[in-house]
Amino acid sequence: MEKRVKKIITELERAVPEARVELNYSNAFELLIATILSARCTDGRVNEVTGELFKRYGKPEHFLKKKQPALEDAIHSTGFFRNKAKSIMACCRKLEDEFGGEVPRTLPELTGLPGVGRKTANIILGHAFNEQAIPVDTHVKRVAFRLGLTESKKPDVVEEDLRRLVPREKWTDTATRLVLHGRYTCKAKKPLCGECVLAELCPRVGV
């Protein structure tokens, strides 16, 4: 397994040289808001919204100066806009009240924010703060299962399995590459197995 995981990581590094999230952001707070908005929404659509949103709302205090309906209008096209607006407002309130308007840098503090689960917290840690983390979204879960890197489809178990198999210094980049591989090649309904650089290493080709 160790040799196969090493080969998988090497092939992913060749296929996806730049391991970065596809959400546009310039700081931890923007990535936090963008990730909350990305639930059940494409990154492309989120980027369309945040391009204008972050010009008006750059800090937690800016969100709190507005009424929730105004935010709902601004993020309407991302879907589930009422719940997302409610979570963002509550999150900004907690950031202001407990963290001086700054995004905290630990997993327990991040997951204590409204609208922030373990996946979102790991994205923030990995990409905003350069900590090694493994965010498990639907793509990571699916690809890891198909590759035989986990026997579970529960995100917390998948994360633990990957943390055990992948060298720590490669956690964030490998997870990001798994996301991109799942998004563009190892798709849920029609995986492009004929184009996949991991096909020879995959025990569940086409599953």
Enzyme catalytic residues? 119, 137
Reduced to 3 states (helix: H, G, I; strand: E, B; else coil), residue 42 is coil
Collapsed DSSP state (helix, strand, coil) of residue 156: helix
CB atoms within 10 A of CB 153: 12
Query: Measured between alpha carbons, how far is 195 from 185 in angstroms, rounded to an integer?
Result: 7
Best CA proximity match to 161, nearest among 173, 176, 175? 175
CA separation for the pair 140, 171 (Å, rounded) = 12
